[in-house]
Amino acid sequence: MKHAIASVCLSGDLRQKIEAAAAAGFSGIEIFENDLLLFDQPPQVVKRIADDHGIAIVALQPFRDFECMPAHLMARNLDRAQRKFDVMDALGTSTLFICSNVSTQTIDSRALASEHLHTLAKLAAERNLQLGYEALAWGRYVSRYEDAWEIVKQADHPHLGIVLDSFHLFARGGDLSLLAEIPGDKITLVQIADAPWLDMDVLQWSRHFRCFPGQGDLPVVAFMQKVMQTGYDGYVSHEIFNDEFRSSPGTSTAQDGKRSLLWLEDEVIKSTPDILAPPLLDQHNFPPSPSVNDVEFIEFATAGDSRKALLALIQALGFIQTHQHRHKDVALFRNGDVSLVLNQEPDSFAQNHYLVHGTSVCAIAYQVENAEDMVRRAEYFSYPGFAAHPENGEMRIPGIRGMNGELVYFVQALAAQRRFFDVDFMPLEIPAPTPAYAMRVDHITSGIAESEFLSTSLFYRALFGLDIAQPQDLIDPHGLIVSRTATSADKKIRLPFNMSRSGNASTERFRQNHAGSGVQHIALHCSDILNYVKHLDPSVVLPIPQNYYDDLDARYDLPDELASQLRRYNLLYDESQTGHFIHFYTKPINGLFFEIVQRNQYANYGEANAAVRMAAQARL
Ligand code: MG
Ligand code: MG
């Protein structure tokens, strides 16, 4: 698969777009005509910039409103095409895309469309140029690739092929069956775009919400499987119109674009290895498979009085210091199977993190089957590593930089039940906690910026191999919060991430407090929340208004005992078709808070109660 990107995906001027695409490792770029019109240098200079960066201009696009125009307009259209051919010569590109006509003057006739495209292909052939015809999902009479293919077939000219664009294809039904009929050499170029499933006007959906494969919900892997089965071996090119991309640095967007194609390619070849002929398959450099099994520990950067506050909170939640690091000012607190590390070692990454963010989560360690493989997988996708410098025989825990400035550690499952703390930490003599509850990490929620939302989706999908749920809206008293969740197949890893465009909503208030994105809330699962909460200092619990409980009584037929316990202990309740969920929240420290949950055959997150929680937090 040769990787290209359309200039329209990236922010900046044409020079910056070419530089960003080349730096990310693309070997081709499509020049969107508008980017050329807005550039203050002639096409010859654009060609030189591309040559200097070792990137091919794979196409000029789009050529609009050409076919099926009334006779008196066709001479003008052909002249217009000749001028575009001149521009292509100067750019050093041989391919022009013609998108299906949207003009109100266009005539509804496939025969005429074929005839006009044949005429244009003859002109293109004289200059040894290639044409690709693309069905726009909002084309006036041609909106499906099936129709575009009929027209290209009828036009029957070697200098005319079809452009396949996954977005248009899925926006118009997404029947992939006809793809098998198209010979690979009649495909001029493949454009790839993902998108969230949205029930809205197709043009608006396309202009604002397209995203890279791996960031949306369209079956892009199935699409690429079918395309590769045609024998097509040309460029696969991103064509993404997206409001976030327009305002994000082009270099990081291009890098995500490259990751996205690497992910797509890997998914396609992994699931259908016979797509590649044996020599190509042997040469294909598969990344190691992801193997993230569980959360091993959560590390906090903290110091001074704010450390005291955090300590008081986690001790109130039943955490006890069980270990002390052998050489560093790092303490381990445990409760059930949850490990919280409090790091106040001077001159460490953690202390730098604390200076910027205050008390905060500075690292999350995941238990993985093979830590070195996860690091190699991160390298494959160009996620930056983090060099730890183990001292005095410490366990080397490889890591990378996570999405929000925190570190991500990969802790290899050790033999014979040994854990990370058996290597680097000394056990303290402590009494066993009474009563004991089975505790484990349920979910870890991050508050991030809108511009990080798609990158975060890709990070968890491509690198961790997690499933990404569709976005959900949560109502905050000061704005709307959009939430997605990354989960592992067995649900041991659940990572919601939230963003808001409203400066005063919970997510943004957290980001202001915390000086940037990061972990906002940590939910722990408790095996017996009703007993657990009875032994808890009630002052740490987020108070919930009585109106909530009146409504709960009206909505559900709960046993009196349970209803009164929920009310008394500020517990929240939700039901699904399969089970129920009881949970409560702590008051925050530096915007960060804990949630204790108990799931009973329940797979969600108590989203129905999120508004109650956020209103309660806004009152603090
Ligand atoms: Mg397109
Ligand atoms: Mg939660």
Q: Which residues contact 66 (CB under 8 A, 6 or more apart)?
A: 77, 81, 98, 101, 116, 117, 120
Residue 357 to residue 348: CA distance in whole angstroms:
14
396 falls in which pLDDT band (50, 70, 90)?
confident
Least confident range of 344-353, 430-439, 515-524, 588-597: 430-439
pLDDT exceeds 60 at position 416: no
Query: What's at 271, amino acid-wise?
Result: S
Residue 352 to residue 278: CA distance in whole angstroms:
50
Q: If DSSP codes are grouped into helix, strand and coil, which group holds residue 235?
A: strand
pLDDT exceeds 70 at position 415: no
* Structural domain ending residue among the three candidates 252, 283, 314: 283
Residue 61 to residue 54: CA distance in whole angstroms:
21
* 433 located within any domain: no
Residue 491 to residue 487: CA distance in whole angstroms:
6
- Taking the centre of ligand 1 as the mean of its atom positions, its distance from the CA of residue 134, in whole angstroms, is 7
Neighbouring CB atoms inside 10 A of 53's CB total 16
Residue 34 to residue 64: CA distance in whole angstroms:
12
Residue of 461, 472, 526 whose CA lies nearest to 500:
472
Burial class (CB in 10 A: 0-12, 13-18, 19+), 115: middle
pLDDT exceeds 70 at position 281: yes
Same domain, 303 and 452: no
pLDDT exceeds 90 at position 182: yes
* 581 located within any domain: yes
Residue 612 to residue 445: CA distance in whole angstroms:
17
CATH of the domain at 34: 3.20.20.150
Residues in the chain: 620
Same domain, 234 and 297: no
Residue 78 to residue 81: CA distance in whole angstroms:
5
Same domain, 471 and 381: no
Same domain, 325 and 420: yes
* Mean pLDDT of the chain, nearest integer: 94
Ligand with smallest separation from the Cα of 608 = 2
pLDDT exceeds 90 at position 434: no
Predicted TM-score (pTM) of the model is 0.93
- Taking the centre of ligand 2 as the mean of its atom positions, its distance from the CA of residue 595, in whole angstroms, is 6
- Taking the centre of ligand 1 as the mean of its atom positions, its distance from the CA of residue 457, in whole angstroms, is 23
- Taking the centre of ligand 2 as the mean of its atom positions, its distance from the CA of residue 437, in whole angstroms, is 20
Mean pLDDT in residue range 156-162: 98
236 falls in which pLDDT band (50, 70, 90)?
very high
pLDDT in tens, 76-132: 999 999 999 999 999 999 999 999 999 999 999 999 999 999 999 999 999 999 999
Ligand with smallest separation from the Cα of 442 = 2
Mean pLDDT in residue range 402-415: 86
Same domain, 409 and 361: yes
Same domain, 499 and 449: yes
Same domain, 360 and 467: no
Same domain, 8 and 48: yes
Residue 192 to residue 221: CA distance in whole angstroms:
10
pLDDT at residue number 389: 74
pLDDT exceeds 80 at position 388: no
pLDDT at residue number 387: 75
244 falls in which pLDDT band (50, 70, 90)?
confident
Residue 534 to residue 440: CA distance in whole angstroms:
19
Burial class (CB in 10 A: 0-12, 13-18, 19+), 355: exposed
Mean pLDDT in residue range 421-425: 87
- Taking the centre of ligand 1 as the mean of its atom positions, its distance from the CA of residue 171, in whole angstroms, is 12
- Taking the centre of ligand 1 as the mean of its atom positions, its distance from the CA of residue 237, in whole angstroms, is 9
Domain count, the chain: 3
Tokens of 186: 């009649």
pLDDT in tens, 304-362: 999 999 999 999 999 999 999 999 999 999 999 999 999 999 999 999 999 999 999 99
Q: Which residues contact 473 (CB under 8 A, 6 or more apart)?
A: 480, 481, 482, 483
Ligand with smallest separation from the Cα of 519 = 2
Tokens of 89: 């010569």
CB contact at 8 A, 55 and 10? no
CB contact at 8 A, 345 and 339? no
* 432 located within any domain: no
| Side-chain half-sphere CA neighbours of 450 within 13 A | 15
Ligand with smallest separation from the Cα of 138 = 1
Tell me whether strands 330-335 and 320-325 are parallel, antiparallel or unpaired: antiparallel
pLDDT at residue number 276: 76
- Taking the centre of ligand 1 as the mean of its atom positions, its distance from the CA of residue 132, in whole angstroms, is 11
* Structural domain ending residue among the three candidates 427, 453, 474: 427
Query: What's at 439, amino acid-wise?
Result: M
Mean pLDDT in residue range 425-448: 87
Q: If DSSP codes are grouped into helix, strand and coil, which group holds residue 386?
A: strand
Ligand with smallest separation from the Cα of 594 = 2
End-to-end CA distance of the chain: 54
pLDDT exceeds 70 at position 417: no
Kindly state the percentage of the chain with pLDDT values over 70. 99
* 157 located within any domain: yes
pLDDT exceeds 90 at position 247: no
* 607 located within any domain: yes
- Taking the centre of ligand 2 as the mean of its atom positions, its distance from the CA of residue 596, in whole angstroms, is 9
* Consecutive H or E run containing 431: none
Q: If DSSP codes are grouped into helix, strand and coil, which group holds residue 199?
A: coil
CB contact at 8 A, 438 and 231? no
Same domain, 402 and 454: no
* 434 located within any domain: no
CB contact at 8 A, 402 and 448? no
Residue 400 to residue 407: CA distance in whole angstroms:
6
Same domain, 470 and 343: no
- Taking the centre of ligand 1 as the mean of its atom positions, its distance from the CA of residue 21, in whole angstroms, is 18
* 191 located within any domain: yes
- Taking the centre of ligand 1 as the mean of its atom positions, its distance from the CA of residue 54, in whole angstroms, is 24
Residue of 445, 500, 475 whose CA lies nearest to 611:
475
Residue of 127, 139, 52, 68 whose CA lies nearest to 96:
127
CATH of the domain at 422: 3.10.180.10
pLDDT at residue number 431: 73
* Angle between helical axes of 14-23 and 43-52 (0-180°, round to 10): 20
* 543 located within any domain: yes
Ligand with smallest separation from the Cα of 445 = 2
pLDDT at residue number 432: 67
- Taking the centre of ligand 2 as the mean of its atom positions, its distance from the CA of residue 443, in whole angstroms, is 7
Peptide bond into 435 cis (omega under 30): yes
Task: For residue 91, give its domain range.
Answer: 2-283
Tell me whether strands 385-386 and 399-401 are parallel, antiparallel or unpaired: antiparallel
Residue of 299, 306, 319 whose CA lies nearest to 361:
299
pLDDT at residue number 429: 81
pLDDT at residue number 156: 98
| Side-chain half-sphere CA neighbours of 419 within 13 A | 17
pLDDT at residue number 418: 73
Write the secondary structure of 451-489 as one string of H (helix), E (strand) and C (coil).
HHHHHHHHHHHHHCCCEECCCEEEEECCEEEEEEEEECC
Tokens of 615: 């209103």
pLDDT exceeds 70 at position 433: no
- Taking the centre of ligand 1 as the mean of its atom positions, its distance from the CA of residue 205, in whole angstroms, is 13
Q: Which residues contact 360 (CB under 8 A, 6 or more apart)?
A: 300, 301, 302, 353, 354, 406, 514, 518, 519, 590, 592
* Structural domain ending residue among the three candidates 363, 396, 427: 427
Burial class (CB in 10 A: 0-12, 13-18, 19+), 261: buried
Q: Give 503's DSSP letter.
A: T
- Taking the centre of ligand 1 as the mean of its atom positions, its distance from the CA of residue 62, in whole angstroms, is 8
- Give the rounded distance of the alpha carbon of 171 from its chain centre: 21
Same domain, 43 and 182: yes
CB contact at 8 A, 522 and 444? yes
Same domain, 452 and 587: yes
- Taking the centre of ligand 1 as the mean of its atom positions, its distance from the CA of residue 71, in whole angstroms, is 27
Q: Give 172's DSSP letter.
A: T
pLDDT in tens, 45-76: 999 999 999 999 999 999 999 999 999 999 99
